[in-house]
Structure 1
Amino acid sequence: MSRTSTPVTANEEDDRTEEKSPESASVGEALNRRIPMTERLADGRANEDVENQGEKKIYETSRDAANEIIYIDFEEGDPRDPANFTYARKWAITLTASFFSLITASSSGAYALGFTSMTRDLRAASIQATIGMSMYTLGFALVPLVTSSFSEEFGRQPMYIVSAIGCLLMHVMTALAQNIPTVIVARLLAGAFGSTSSAMVGGSVADIWAPHERGLPMSVFAIMALAGPGIGCVAAGWIEQNPHLEWRWIQWLHVILLGALIFAMPIFMKETRSAVLLTRLAKKLRKKTGDPRYRARVEDERASLRTLIYISCTRPLYLLVSEPVVASFSLWVGFAWGILYALIRSIGPAFSDVHNFNTGQTGTVFVTMIIGCFAGEAIQIYQERLYAKYHAKKGPEARLFSACLAAVLLPAGMFIYAWTTFPSVPWIGMVMGVFVIMTSLFILYVAVFTYLADCYGIFASSALAGQSLSRNLMGTVFPLFTQQMYDQLTYHWGTALFGFIAVLMIPIPFVLYWKGPAIRAHSKFASQVVHKQ
């Protein structure tokens, strides 16, 4: 059957159905715009990769009007288009999704503060409890490679709700566990369900905010994601300190928060993926009119779910090993993420051993992480001004000014932390080291998203999925050897060793700033974006 596409307007649709309804009242002109590529950056999906394997012709000229395909789209200004949601609705969605990120990040750090009572109650070794911490991060690393494509098929809102419910149930399982293997399994599954909070929020932000509006919403998301471990540890320290609460109530606290989130999601969140909304609208029109010609363009262009999953699993790995920009940035941010989890694992024993802090006081030290995130955001605001000033001349490399600063701050913070871990040095010295480290981590976290997004354009989701895999795998591995390393090398030389490794990585952003265009010119993927600029 020959096929053509005909635009449908609201009035034409009323004439055809002889019935006005909210479902069909705003059917627009034929789909002229693609889904913005930037909405794919943070959730690791691969639809754009499929589309760019070769242009797929779906039109043939036909004079048989009865057989033509009628593609539908939102009209300009249609309130059902996520891009046209009110500011109140956009912020409700952004804050709700970011709150999910805060809860899951909080759980990643708060868990470690309950080690003392957990190992006592479950008669477990410290390394077994640490495995539970690493399994949570492993879930974050691996599962999004498979599940990130599900939003193509089912939409974002169902993924958020199902993930939050699953994450809540796994925290209940942890709180009720009677042995350490149950805790380890529950933590792995909690990380698997909670990974949606990291993988999909950036895409949700891009769905509803215009490019020039995304700075503040993305900053809110980044602050919640990175300050979350600090917030969780502050609360967990004092919960662990109370003999009537201890480690189980650290889990129950997150169950309560996730329960509130699940209650809020249907109220404050709406589906934001326009392709899914158009597909639903097309199905309603086909059912209402009995006319099978009504279709959303994505129904003909989208690859199968199986193909999307295959690409989302393999393309990030290919970029990770074959692209110098992705490989170098992923190595750097992966090491930095490992340092974050090493800090979470070691701050408690370090402050307890060196300054005799109790668990509550140790938890309060993590306030420094929160302050460091806000300091990093202040620097990032200035970075955005530099980017606006130098982008025309430097291109994507104008994103790297703050990253160059972070490259120096990271080892500096570790050396401060290392050589202030003496009883004779006031505890504020170690706190300042943590502050500098967290400031640099925040800057690096934002830089890796913005720089890789600019460099790889339509392939950015795969590039970012590669660095996310590297980052979370490092976060899985580092806690497993951190305490043993400190036992052998002491806090001074153990942290100093991390500092020396960070020094070796200082050249990465400087080399990319200097030679980035030449490196990208030889890239199979990034060069396609350069040629379009």
Structure 2
Amino acid sequence: MSSESAEGVVSKGFGSPASTVEHTGEKIIYVEFEDGDRRNPLNYSRVKKWAITLTACFFTGITGAASSSYSISTPSMTAELHCTQLQATLGLGLYAIGFGIVPLVTSSFSEEIGRRPVYIFSSLMFTLTQVMVALAPNIEAVIVGRTLGGIFGSTGASLVGGSIADIWQPHERGLPMSLFAFTSLFAIGLGSVIGGVIQSNPNLGWRWVQWIHVMVSGLFVTLVLVVMSETRASIILTQMARSARKVTGDGRHKSRAELHKESLWSLIKTACSRPLYFLLTEPLVQSFSVWSGFTWGVVYCLLESVSPMFETVYGFDVKQTGFIYAALSVGALVGFLANLYQDKLYRMYYAQKKQEARLYLACVAALCLPVGMLIFAWTASPNIHWIVPMIGLTLFMSGVMIIFQVAFLYLADCYNTYASSAQAGQSLFRNSMALVFPLFTEQMFATLTYRWGLTLFAILAIIMAPTPFVLYFYGSKIRANSIASRKILAAEAQASETSTPGLEKV
């Protein structure tokens, strides 16, 4: 029997029979969940799980729509505030960079105080930043408001993946995670459509785009207060332990998190340094970071260029070009359906290919990116119907959706307990590219024209196309030479002696 043998129990109503252990001279009664305990997030009802999942994904959609609707409404903004297009573009890029940098720090707060308070605070502050932009008297206020919007929007949106992991078993997470990725990308196209409709009305303009976001974000705050429950198990157990101490007057009731608690500074230090370590040293993280970073940068370039391109080539007005962005949403939907099929392939071939079974459709996406971009570049002509370049745009966005999802799940499979750090490193690089790319978009297209500028992107996509193929054939060998991966492989080998891991993967 271990040193933590069961010599005491927690009072009924506070947890299951828990072990006691000598700790600094006193016996500690650990508070644990009972089997089937409904307070355990993994045991929430399916209705409650989906309510939490959809609410969290809704926040992701709001933040995604806020990026694209801002971009399409900049013409009236630059006219009213007498600013340059580059200044307006900073509002787009700085919003995106918040999603790469800020979660490195703020993710630690959810471990300290729980996820629900962070959702409430970040959604409320995000709403206030939209008010700030809507009332901005100059471009400087807009840029500050957008930067703060990225900070608070990323704080909440970065918790969605963790919230899903809190309430769904590993083999159940495929659909919720696909929905998370889909919502983010679908909203980018939807935001442009709505923004284009509002921008086209001379009585509305860019400020009303922001006011619409204020209304929707305010609705979300109410939804969070009503629907969102705490999903982090360690926080719930800590609350149960406090309640047990208060009711029984016995200070020995503790949760394990209370006894093995790191300081907030230590959590922040680890959260900031480990993703950078993975980004700088791990080939798998580096390869997906460069690939997904390039695609994300191109997406943000398209947010800046699609509207003026169709206005120039086809004579569309801003409302019509707004509907062109619907191709991004359609592409996201196609990619979402493809990812559901990829999940089936993963289950079928995991035994043979292990983690690399995630990469089948990533190989297809590697071909979709340059083909879609070339179609978009070379068919945008007054002599060719506008639906043809839209098909190219849809094909490109389908590839982006697949890559976005595969990057998350593949790194999660490869790095297991270090998955959050690996994904944070990838996210940091990806969103940095979203800041950098739009800064040179206008100058690049002015110099090369839209056709050759987009062709350059297609060439770069061709150069990067071997990425998933190399990982598919050599990913296991690459992991074998990685320090972090060797530790994880050793743990998996030990676990495989008592279980079959294939069915328990995300």
TM-score interval for Structure 1 and Structure 2 normalised by the shorter chain = over 0.9
Aligned to 2:317: 358
Matches of 1:117 and 1:277 in 2, distance apart? Answer: 48
Q: How many angstroms does 1:198 deviate by?
A: 2.9
Task: Please point out which of 18, 34, 49 is paired with 1:30.
Answer: 18
Give the aligned residue type for 1:226.
Answer: L
Matches of 1:369 and 1:190 in 2, distance apart? Answer: 23
Q: Describe the superposition over 1:133-166 as per-residue Cα deviations: whole angstroms up to 9, x where unpaired.
A: 1110111111101101100011000000100011
Q: How many angstroms does 1:353 deviate by?
A: 0.6
Aligned to 1:45: none
Task: Please point out which of 333, 336, 345 is paired with 1:374.
Answer: 333
Contact 2:22-2:28 at 8 Å conserved across structures: no
Contact 1:144-1:196 at 8 Å conserved across structures: yes
Aligned to 2:176: 217
Q: Describe the superposition over 1:365-387 as per-residue Cα deviations: whole angstroms up to 9, x where unpaired.
A: 11111111111122212211211
Aligned to 2:195: 236
Distance 1:286 1:449, change over 3 A: same
Q: How many angstroms does 1:5 deviate by?
A: 7.0
Q: Aligned ranges for residues 496-515 of structure 1 at < 5 Å? A: 496-515=455-474
Aligned to 2:368: 409
Range with bigger deviation, 127-136 or 206-215: 206-215
Task: Please point out which of 313, 326, 330 is paired with 2:272.
Answer: 313
Contact 2:14-2:31 at 8 Å conserved across structures: no
Aligned to 1:42: none
Give the aligned residue type for 2:359.
Answer: L
Q: Describe the superposition over 1:69-91 as per-residue Cα deviations: whole angstroms up to 9, x where unpaired.
A: 11111111111111111111111
- Local SS of the residue matching 1:511: helix
- Local SS of the residue matching 1:195: helix
Task: Please point out which of 60, 65, 80 is paired with 1:106.
Answer: 65
Aligned to 1:466: 425
Contact 1:26-1:78 at 8 Å conserved across structures: no
Q: Describe the superposition over 1:90-122 as per-residue Cα deviations: whole angstroms up to 9, x where unpaired.
A: 111111111010000000110011111100110
Q: How many angstroms does 1:196 deviate by?
A: 2.5
Matches of 1:311 and 1:530 in 2, distance apart? Answer: 22
RMSD: 1.6
1:190 aligns with 2:149: yes
1:388 aligns with 2:347: yes
Q: Describe the superposition over 1:5-52 as per-residue Cα deviations: whole angstroms up to 9, x where unpaired.
A: 75754xx515xxxxxxxxxx0411338xxxxxxxxxxxxxxxxxxxxx
* Number of residue-to-residue matches in the alignment: 490
Matches of 1:269 and 1:229 in 2, distance apart? Answer: 24
Matches of 1:508 and 1:77 in 2, distance apart? Answer: 44
Q: How many angstroms does 1:212 deviate by?
A: 2.0
Matches of 2:89 and 2:244 in 1, distance apart? Answer: 54
Q: How many angstroms does 1:362 deviate by?
A: 0.5
Aligned to 1:451: 410
Matches of 2:282 and 2:177 in 1, distance apart? Answer: 26
Question: TM-score when scaled to structure 1?
Answer: 0.90
Matches of 2:191 and 2:173 in 1, distance apart? Answer: 27
Distance 1:453 1:128, change over 3 A: same
Aligned to 1:49: none
Distance 1:61 1:259, change over 3 A: closer
Distance 1:250 1:391, change over 3 A: same
Q: How many angstroms does 1:178 deviate by?
A: 0.7
Distance 1:86 1:285, change over 3 A: same
Aligned to 1:48: none
Distance 1:8 1:504, change over 3 A: farther
In structure 1, list runs of 5 or more residues that go unmatched. 15-24, 32-57
Using the aligned pairs only, state the percent identity: 48
Q: Aligned ranges for residues 93-492 of structure 1 at < 5 Å? A: 93-492=52-451
Contact 1:396-1:451 at 8 Å conserved across structures: yes
Give the aligned residue type for 2:16.
Answer: G
Contact 2:100-2:432 at 8 Å conserved across structures: yes
Aligned to 1:19: none
Point out 4+ residue stretches in structure 1 off by more than 3 angstroms: 3-9, 58-62
Matches of 1:288 and 1:386 in 2, distance apart? Answer: 52
Q: How many angstroms does 1:203 deviate by?
A: 0.8
- Local SS of the residue matching 1:79: coil
In structure 2, list runs of 5 or more residues that go unmatched. 493-506
- Local SS of the residue matching 1:258: helix
Matches of 2:255 and 2:370 in 1, distance apart? Answer: 52
Distance 1:306 1:225, change over 3 A: same
- Local SS of the residue matching 2:30: strand
Q: Describe the superposition over 1:315-371 as per-residue Cα deviations: whole angstroms up to 9, x where unpaired.
A: 000110101111111100000100111111111110111101101101101111111
Matches of 1:404 and 1:60 in 2, distance apart? Answer: 55
Contact 2:14-2:240 at 8 Å conserved across structures: no
Matches of 1:192 and 1:106 in 2, distance apart? Answer: 15
Q: Describe the superposition over 1:373-412 as per-residue Cα deviations: whole angstroms up to 9, x where unpaired.
A: 1111222122112111110111100100011111111111
Contact 1:115-1:129 at 8 Å conserved across structures: yes
Matches of 1:197 and 1:363 in 2, distance apart? Answer: 27
Q: Aligned ranges for residues 69-80 of structure 1 at < 5 Å? A: 69-80=28-39
- Local SS of the residue matching 2:433: helix
Question: TM-score when scaled to structure 2?
Answer: 0.94
Matches of 2:113 and 2:421 in 1, distance apart? Answer: 20
Give the aligned residue type for 1:167.
Answer: F
Matches of 2:220 and 2:427 in 1, distance apart? Answer: 25
Matches of 2:232 and 2:263 in 1, distance apart? Answer: 17
Matches of 2:185 and 2:32 in 1, distance apart? Answer: 38
